[in-house]
Amino acid sequence: MKQSAAILGATGLVGRACRDLLLADERYGRVIAIGRREPGRADPKMVVCRVALGNVDALDDPMLGSVDDVFCCLGTTIGKAGSQEVFRRVDLDYVLNAAVFAKRRGARHFLMVTAVGASARSRVFYSRVKGEAEDAVAKVGIECVSIFRPSLILGPRDESRLKERISKSAATALSFAMVGSLTKYRPIEATTIARAMLATATGPAPGVKVYEFEQMMALRSAAKET
């Protein structure tokens, strides 16, 4: 029997890559795209659910049925959010709502994208919120939780930001020097993250597992070989 997946954040950089891979994956017979915006493409096996992510009861529509895997690619930047309050709402509250939705729909596996350095004890607001989101999701009670912690994410974005382009160029140029404990800070392609998520979705072990640069690269390579 084919599986069903739900994806939140299907219009973002990683989310778009995940969406396309899920739709192409024969293991999945149904892909539910959940969010405020249209997912950007149509497909016979994709169900679009446009809903405000701040209301977990509205998000948890029984008509969607059961879901096997939930891919949470939600995330913003403080600059785009406009304030720490809005950033926290998107990267913590909405993510937690997604996990509650996954639990209510019977999902066995919740896969989420956070960021390198995420820790609820961090002094950096961005990293602290990401870490708090990880901890909150882990407490929801989903059997398998996979956490992906990329550094700078590379790929074609809808918007063009000069500072971001400059930082990407600098990070890419310096990535060869990021070895040992610094390897996890190397920039990574959005498609690599998405492929790692899809590879992890196959037969996950119970518990919470974290994947950083090296683990995601290994998963991508393994996926290419199969």
Q: How far apart (Å, rounded) are the C-alpha atoms in residues 8 and 49?
A: 10
45, 103, 126, 168: which is the annotated catalytic residue?
126
pLDDT 10s digits, 12-56: 999 999 999 999 999 999 999 998 888 888 999 999 999 989 988
Residue 121's Cα: distance from chain center in Å?
A: 22
Neighbours of 221 (CB within 10 A): 13
Q: Which residue has the tokens 């870490």?
A: 131
Q: Rounded to whole angstroms, what are the CA distances from 110 to 79, 125, 142?
A: 27, 24, 7
| pLDDT of amino acid 164 | 54
CATH topology of domain 3-154+188-225: Rossmann fold (3.40.50)
139 is known as an active-site residue: no
pLDDT digits (tens, 9 = 90+) for 78-90: 989 999 999 999 9
Pairwise CA distance, residues 134 & 113, whole Å: 9
- Show me where the domains of the chain are located: 3-154+188-225
Catalytic-labelled residue, pool 130, 184, 185, 211? 130
| CA 135 vs CA 130, 132, 139, 145: distances in Å | 9, 5, 7, 11
- Annotated catalytic residue 184: no
Task: Assess contact for 126 and 115: CB atoms under 8 A.
Answer: yes
Is residue 93 within 8 A of residue 129, CB to CB? The reply is: no
In this prediction the pTM is: 0.90
Per-residue pLDDT of the chain (226 residues; tens, 9 = 90+): 899 999 999 999 999 999 999 999 999 999 999 988 888 889 999 999 999 899 888 888 888 889 999 999 999 989 899 999 999 999 999 999 999 999 999 999 999 999 999 999 999 999 999 999 999 999 999 999 999 999 999 987 655 555 555 555 655 555 555 556 678 989 999 999 999 999 999 778 899 999 999 999 999 776 654 4
The average confidence (pLDDT) of the chain is: 89
